[in-house]
Amino acid sequence: MGCSKTTFNPNWMEEKSPETFQARFETSKGDFEIEFTRNLSPEAVDRVYRQIHHKFYDRIVFYRVVPNFVAQFGHMDSTATANSWDRFKVKDEPAKGSNIKGTISYARAGVNSRGNHLFINLKDNKRLDTIFYNKVKGFPPLGKVTKGMDVVEKLYSGYGNETMKVYDSLAVHRKEFLKKFPKLDSIRKVYILK
């Protein structure tokens, strides 16, 4: 997987998403599609629209796949590119939808910390709708897998949370990380369907 990405431009942060849009994820296990709905979490859907449009999620791994819980991705293979996006966080919003199987939400670490990491629910995780985590309530869903949920369910999950023990090394020591976890599946490219 290559490492070249589009050079970051802060003006992208002004782009707005359509009310709904679909994106295709081409992965090492096959393709799946997600429909994003802006009304569910406007700030976050604008963000994911920008990231897909500017190829942020191309050539990255599903670095955390926990059976019967979530499949997570979003860590860049370049600290420079990730840090550029990281300067712009997504404001917290209430969870209008529910984290049921097939929905996608941003992960976060605290107040106004959503930014690059997304997870797809592998089962109904409704407790994530209202859970208080680092002073913020809930993980607002942004959309749902509309095609290829069977592909998402086939993503390699044998490492579970083991990857998180050395997760910080992914951006800095990508080759070593992938050598340690060679079975991780990857996203080849993501694009918006017309």
Helix (H) or strand (E) holding 27: strand 20-27
Distance between CA 23 and CA 142 in Å, rounded? 12
Question: pLDDT tens, 42-62?
Answer: 999 999 999 999 999 999 999
pLDDT at 169: 77
Partners of 32 in the β-ladder: 25
Q: DSSP H helical segments within 9-114, as ranges?
A: 42-53, 79-86
Sheet holding 70-73, edge to edge: 60-61, 186-193, 20-27, 30-37, 141-147, 103-106, 118-121, 70-73, 64-66
pLDDT at 83 > cutoff 80? no
Dihedrals φ, ψ of 16, to 5°? -110, 145
The pTM score is: 0.93
CATH superfamily of 16-193: Cyclophilin-like (2.40.100.10)
Question: pLDDT tens, 19-46?
Answer: 999 999 999 999 999 999 999 999 999 9
